[in-house]
Amino acid sequence: MNFNEGHVPVLLNEFLSRFALLIERRGEACRDRFVDFTFGLGGHSLPLLEKYGWLKITAFDADPLTIARAEQVYKDYVSAGRLTLVNGNFADFDSLIPAADMKNVFGAIADFGISNSQLFEKGRGFSFDDDRSFDMRINQRSEGPSAATVVNEFGEEELSDIFFHLADERLARQIARAVVERRRERPIQTCSQFAEIVRTVYKRNPKIKTGVDFATKAVMALRIFVNSEFDNIKSLLEKASANFVKNSWLFTITFHSNEDRIVKEFIKNESRGCVCPKEVIICRCSHKAGVRAVDRKPAVASAAEMAVNPRSRSAKLRTIEFI
Ligand SMILES: C[S@@+](CC[C@H](N)C(=O)[O-])C[C@H]1O[C@@H](n2cnc3c(N)ncnc32)[C@H](O)[C@@H]1O
């Protein structure tokens, strides 16, 4: 089976055109290593490796299964020294990329979240209809709690906070209460059982319409929580600011507003010089702008892409230059 069969990388054309612009602007001097922080099925890296014969890519994925498959499928690129696969968290990239390689990195991409193949693979617990598992950890060998542990062991208030703060779930409190009541009878063992509890809460509130499966936000909140997704994005951005060489670019693709807000705020704060409070007339902070947004607005999917891949509807590509 082709590893990439049916895989549609999000905002690929928009990414490739900006990558070409980066190469054009930086010229020969920078032509060496690119980093793919979220390799997945290689949907963004593969077209680059095919088009730019000089390019070397260091690619991360936190999922050991994804990396094991990539080692097989992309073994020619690996053995030619053009693709280095790393099973690790992108939040730790500063300790995983050798300093000598880091100096030659002229850009990177981070396409956050999980891939469709992870989403639909039964036994991983990511999808509403998974009736086998409720794990949800990208790396099932990691020490953090699985989604099943969270819903069966965390307190009602903690659960409500997770649903509300990580995914803006309007019925967070009612869902947390329903979870606690249900687990008194028997543990919640699969994602499909959890999704059914959430749907029952929504059915009691018929005036609230969502336009998508009622369980969408609560399920997403759990995934974000068990994988520390927002903290990882924040660490990646901070560490990129400290480690990326001047004029290198970071492309980020986000899928929902809370994720995008982290990147947007980072650009807003780090592109400012002085960050003193308004009432301070003469600057005392000596803060210097460290980044610049390459595009004024994020790139979004075309109508044609949305028709082929509805998941791209909410995707945003931002391009950050380190200055
Ligand atoms: C949306 S997919 C990327 C898809 C890829 N761009 C493609 O088109 O094939 C995100 C990938 O990032 C990985 N991932 C998520 N969080 C990660 C983290 N903190 N560190 C490394 N990889 C991570 C997931 O396992 C998943 O394979």
Name which of 250, 249, 254, 262 is nearest 300 in CA terms.
254
Which ligand 1 atom is the nearest neighbour of the CA of 38?
Answer: 12
Fold for 12-115+229-322, please state it.
Rossmann fold (3.40.50)
User: Which residues does residue 111 pair with via DSSP β-bridges, in sequence order?
Assistant: 253
* Region 139-226: CATH code: 1.10.150.170
Q: Could you give the percent of the chain with pLDDT greater than 90?
A: 80
What does the alpha-carbon distance between residue 234 and residue 241 come to, in Å, rounded to a whole number? 11
Place of tokens 């979220």: 38
- Residues 58-85: pLDDT tens digits? 999 999 999 999 999 999 999 999 999 9
Instruction: Specify the pTM.
Output: 0.94
Q: Distance, CA 70 to ligand 1 centroid (Å)? A: 12
Judged against a pLDDT cut of 90, whether residue 177 lies above it is answered with: yes
Mutation choice for ligand 1 from 66, 115, 120, CB with most ligand atoms inside 8 A: 115
pLDDT attached to residue 1: 37
pLDDT attached to residue 2: 45
Q: What does 223-259 look like in DSSP terms, one character per residue?
A: HHHHTTHHHHHHHHHHHHHHHSPTT-EEEEEE-SHHH
Domain residue ranges in the chain: 12-115+229-322, 139-226
pLDDT attached to residue 176: 98
pLDDT attached to residue 5: 60
Pairing status of strand 316-322 against strand 291-293:
antiparallel
Within this chain, domains 12-115+229-322 and 139-226 share the same CATH topology: no
CA dist 65 → 61, 62, 143 (Å): 9, 9, 17
pLDDT attached to residue 301: 97
Place of tokens 């380190």: 322
- Residues 7-30: pLDDT tens digits? 789 999 999 999 999 999 888 766
pLDDT attached to residue 211: 80
pLDDT attached to residue 275: 84
Residue 145 gets which letter from DSSP? P
Average pLDDT over residues 102-113: 95
Query: Whose CA is closest to atom 27 on ligand 1?
Result: 40
Average pLDDT over residues 112-122: 92
Query: Whose CA is closest to atom 12 on ligand 1?
Result: 38
Query: For ligand 1, is residue 42 a contact (CB within 6 Å)?
Result: yes
Average pLDDT over residues 263-288: 90
